[in-house]
Amino acid sequence: MLCLDAVAHGGNPQDRAASLRVDRRYRRRGLSKLLDAHTNKYLSQVNVPILRYCVYSDNETMLKVISQRGDKKLDSYSLYKAEPIASDTNQLIQLNLKNFDDIWSLIIRNDLLDNKQTFYTKLITTCQSINPDLLKECLLGGKVFGLIQNEKLRGIAIQSYSELSEEEFYIGYLHGEPEILTVLLCELCKLAYSLGKSVVKGLFPLNDSFGNALSQAAFQRINQAEIGIYRSSLKINS
């Protein structure tokens, strides 16, 4: 079985994020090349010149395809999980459109740009650049939570959709001041418990700020293979 997931993002229909998948039962039969060719043809027809996708570092077949295409690696992420934390208290508040300016100011703060999480994810299959339109959509859906201390927004998290189980609490985006990331993660585990979720998961960038916070919050790496996020610029026939 061959599968292509593609969604427009960034407010630009000519920029898409996608996942390319071949059912494990049919791998090593040259189907990835067939899927790749059909994908390029389809995206050319709908005038989409840019494609982003995620690939595990141990997926030798797709890495060969990437090498042949000359696609650019944008970042490295890894999938983590943690147990929900039973608690009667929670510091997180659900944010709404009234909080948009404060949230966006936090996201674009210059001193936080070096170690920020660039992409909003939906369990590996979709990675989107965080942007005002996407943020507003998530706020309207009630999926954005914030950590406020001394009347100042210091961290945010966006709950995303988990394609595997309704019992999972999936963190699609996490951002904040480095010193409160651990607290933010722990509070999300408390929130997951209050919502009746059985596990907390998220895809996070491989840098020291996130690595230290995840370790201190008792998050465990699920797969030792890295997840590379790649960008492909396709040739569109005029």
pLDDT of residue 13: 40
pTM for this model (two decimals): 0.78
Block means of pLDDT (10 residues each) for the chain, 238 residues, are 40 44 54 62 63 82 82 88 95 97 93 77 73 94 95 94 79 93 97 95 89 95 86 62
Label residues 122-141 b or e (16+ Cβ within 10 Å = b): bbbbbbbbbbeebbeebbee
What 8-state DSSP symbol labels residue 224? S
Cα→Cα distances 144→69, 122, 139, 171, Å: 37, 15, 6, 10
Residue 234 structure tokens: 């396709």
The rounded distance, in Å, linking the Cα atoms of 130 and 137 is 11
What domains, with CATH codes, occur in the chain?
Answer: 2-76+226-233 (3.40.630.30), 78-221 (3.40.630.30)
pLDDT value, residue 24: 56
Phi, psi of 31 (to 5 degrees): -70, -25
Tokens 């706020």 -> residue: 139
Q: Would you state the pLDDT for residue 6?
A: 42
In this predicted structure, what is the pLDDT of residue 152? 94
90, 187 Cβ separation under 8 angstroms? yes
Q: What amino acid occupies position 71?
A: D
